[in-house]
């Protein structure tokens, strides 16, 4: 899981174009997603994944990359006219729940579960502003979370040294 987490972090840093500090709120989600990937897709000696052995079928691949900006569909909130409002919002793909296969999406208001997402055009999928907008962690999904079990992690404003690309990239 450690190795898979390092790979995911390096890929996300490359896509966002910034260095992600270890106390960033996206790190706990990244570690959880690394475990899900290994449980779903790592092929063992018998040619099966743990998911295949447990469920008796092959896991489906969604194809969305961790940290990618997506459009996600929220539930209607309000009365009968709530369906009339736009139900699609912007968010960051953070993985999926292992039991229900619901997708986990984060935005500036918190972390949400949904079943419906739409990918954005290639030019809009990655942005370093995504890193600044996201604050939810597994133990505190939003500020109004009744089941919160710890402190909120705040991205705040990343220092210039963090927002800049890696020193290896700048040397080129």
- The helix or strand, by DSSP H or E, that contains position 6, with its residue range, turns out to be helix 2-16
pLDDT value for 157: 40
Q: Please tell me the predicted confidence (pLDDT) of residue 142.
A: 65
Q: Return d(Cα 138, Cα 116) in angstroms, integer.
A: 20
3-state secondary structure of 110: strand
d(Cα 161, Cα 150) in Å, to the nearest integer?
28
pTM over 0.75: yes
Task: Please tell me the predicted confidence (pLDDT) of residue 171.
Answer: 40
Q: How far apart are CA 97 and CA 32, in angstroms?
A: 9
Per-residue pLDDT of the chain (172 residues; tens, 9 = 90+): 999 999 999 999 999 898 988 888 899 999 999 998 888 888 889 988 888 888 888 887 778 899 899 999 888 777 777 777 778 989 999 998 878 888 999 888 888 899 999 999 999 988 877 777 777 777 667 666 655 555 555 554 444 333 333 333 344 3
Point out which residues pair with 111 in neighbouring strands: 106
- Which phi and psi (to 5°) does residue 134 adopt? -95, 130
The pLDDT score that the predictor gives to residue 161 is 35
- Residue 9: what pLDDT? 94
Q: Is 26 helix (H, G, I), strand (E, B) or coil?
A: helix
- CA 133 to CA 1: how far, in whole Å? 26
Strand order across the 117-119 sheet: 110-114, 103-107, 88-96, 69-73, 117-119
pLDDT at site 92: 92
Nearest to 2 by CA among 28, 29, 34: 34
Q: In the prediction, which pLDDT does 168 show?
A: 39
Closest CA to 92 of 123, 115, 65: 65
Tokens of 19: 């260095």
């Amino acid at each position: 899981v450690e190795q898979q987490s390092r790979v995911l972090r390096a890929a996300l840093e490359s896509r966002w174009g910034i260095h992600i500090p270890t106390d960033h709120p996206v790190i706990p989600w990244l570690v959880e997603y690394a475990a899900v990937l290994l449980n779903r897709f790592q092929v063992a000696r018998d040619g099966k994944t743990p998911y295949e052995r447990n469920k008796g079928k092959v896991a489906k691949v969604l194809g969305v990359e961790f940290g990618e900006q997506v459009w996600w569909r929220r539930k209607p909130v309000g009365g009968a006219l709530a369906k009339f409002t736009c139900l699609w919002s912007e968010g960051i793909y953070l993985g999926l729940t292992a039991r229900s296969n619901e997708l986990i999406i984060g935005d500036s208001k918190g972390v949400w579960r949904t079943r419906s997402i739409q990918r954005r055009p290639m030019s809009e999928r990655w942005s370093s502003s995504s890193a600044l907008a996201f604050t939810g962690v597994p133990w505190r999904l939003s500020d109004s979370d009744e089941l919160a079990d710890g402190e909120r992690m705040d991205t705040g404003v990343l220092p210039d040294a963090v927002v800049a690309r890696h020193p290896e990239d700048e040397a080129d």
